[in-house]
Amino acid sequence: MESALDAIQFFADSANSVRVFEALTAGPMRSRDLAEQTGASRSTVARVLDKGESRGWITSEGSQYELTEVGEIMIAEFRVYLQTLEGIQHLSDAIEWLPEPVHSIDYRHFRTTEIITPKTPAPAEPYDHVAEKIRATDEVRSLVEVTLPRYVRLIYEEVNERQLESELVIDADWIKTLSAGSEQLPLLQARAERGSIWTYEGEIPLNMHLFDDSVAIWLGEELEGERVVRGLLVAEASAVISWAEELYEDYQAEGELLDPETLPAE
């Protein structure tokens, strides 16, 4: 029995092997049709088919070739493996800055994410991106450790000007640090009066914002006991958005709706 590495090498050594197997997932085909569809020469297709048959991944009847059940499983699993590697490569150094909960997402779903880092000449680009999304979206839900005054004011304005739907789940300990003179206090007070702020007793391990069509997750690392922002991951993949929605709802369900009367008096 060939080793698993040999099986992987069958696909890894030749993109044509992958193309032929991918084409056969649609159903039985003739070798010349496979050559036309994949762009490979007929001799190359013949070699792939022969090797596939010798492994029991392809079967033939006359001039028709099709995948066996094992062949279907092999190409499906190799496709996932390939996509996973593509996701990891796309993240590059940012993979070290992912908050711990994000590592539970299959890396293949990160192939199309956008990584925005604070680089010269636009060090504020990650922050500007979130601000632009707040202005463009119909709904924003945030799960955060702390709030940034810039976003608190912007959301307050957008809610009043065009009825932006907004929700916030935040670390309860941070709310307790607000002083009566905080510029954020009256803005958060107004949102609390609308029943749109929840406080969570415990650690919130990431900072993220859910919009209509995407999720933005802040990237960072711990340095001397403090979380340092390294950038922003923006994902539109449905799997990542679904994961973020479920995580947000879990924290919201375990949180407590903020009573505006408990906030410091101005």
Q: Residue 266 — very low, low, confident or very high, per pLDDT cuts 50/70/90?
A: low
Task: With residue 61 as reference, give the H or E element that holds it.
Answer: strand 58-61
Quick one: 115 and 34 in the same domain?
no
Q: Which of 81, 107, 122 is the last residue of a domain?
A: 81
In a domain, residue 71? The reply is yes
In a domain, residue 204? The reply is yes
Q: Residue 224 — very low, low, confident or very high, per pLDDT cuts 50/70/90?
A: confident
- Are 227 and 148 in contact by the 8 Å Cβ rule? The answer is no
Quick one: 71 and 109 in the same domain?
no
Q: Is 225 left (phi over 0), alpha (psi -120 to 50) or beta?
A: left
In a domain, residue 166? The reply is yes
Quick one: 112 and 211 in the same domain?
yes
pLDDT at 2: 58
Quick one: 127 and 76 in the same domain?
no
pLDDT at residue 16 greater than cutoff 90: yes
Strands 165-171 and 197-200: parallel
Quick one: 48 and 120 in the same domain?
no
Q: Which of 81, 112, 145 is the last residue of a domain?
A: 81
In a domain, residue 89? The reply is no
Q: Is 249 left (phi over 0), alpha (psi -120 to 50) or beta?
A: alpha
Global pTM reads 0.87
Q: What are the structure tokens assigned to 217, written together?
A: 């997750």
Rounded Cα–Cα distance for residues 35 and 156 (Å): 60
Residue 116: domain span: 98-262
In tens, the pLDDT along 64-121 reads 999 999 999 999 999 999 999 999 999 999 999 999 999 999 999 999 999 999 987 8
Read off the pLDDT of each residue in 32-49 and give the average, rounded to a whole number. 96
Q: Which of 52, 81, 110 is the last residue of a domain?
A: 81
Quick one: 63 and 122 in the same domain?
no
List phi, psi (to 5°) of 257: -60, 130
Quick one: 191 and 147 in the same domain?
yes
Strands 114-116 and 29-30: unpaired
In a domain, residue 86? The reply is no
Nearest to 209 by CA among 225, 190, 233, 231: 233
Read off the pLDDT of each residue in 9-26 and give the average, rounded to a whole number. 94
Read off the pLDDT of each residue in 176-204 and give the average, rounded to a whole number. 93
Rounded Cα–Cα distance for residues 151 and 158 (Å): 10
Quick one: 41 and 173 in the same domain?
no
Output the CA–CA distances (angstroms, integers) from residue 266 to 10, 187, 254, in the order listed. 70, 11, 29
Query: Domain holding 25: CATH number?
Result: 1.10.10.10
Cα 13 vs. chain centroid, distance in angstroms? Answer: 30
In a domain, residue 88? The reply is no
The number of distinct structural domains making up the chain is 2
Nearest to 178 by CA among 189, 168, 166, 165: 189
State the DSSP code for 122: B
In a domain, residue 38? The reply is yes
Quick one: 153 and 47 in the same domain?
no
In a domain, residue 87? The reply is no
Quick one: 61 and 103 in the same domain?
no
Return the residue matching tokens 């056969």: 24
Quick one: 107 and 235 in the same domain?
yes
State the DSSP code for 75: H
Query: Domain holding 177: CATH number?
Result: 3.30.870.10
Q: Residue 1 — very low, low, confident or very high, per pLDDT cuts 50/70/90?
A: very low
Quick one: 176 and 110 in the same domain?
yes
In tens, the pLDDT along 137-183 reads 999 999 999 999 999 999 999 999 999 999 999 999 999 998 888 99
Read off the pLDDT of each residue in 231-236 and give the average, rounded to a whole number. 97
Nearest to 153 by CA among 181, 116, 179, 191: 191
Output the CA–CA distances (angstroms, integers) from residue 259 to 118, 134, 175, 201, 216, in the order listed. 36, 25, 11, 14, 28
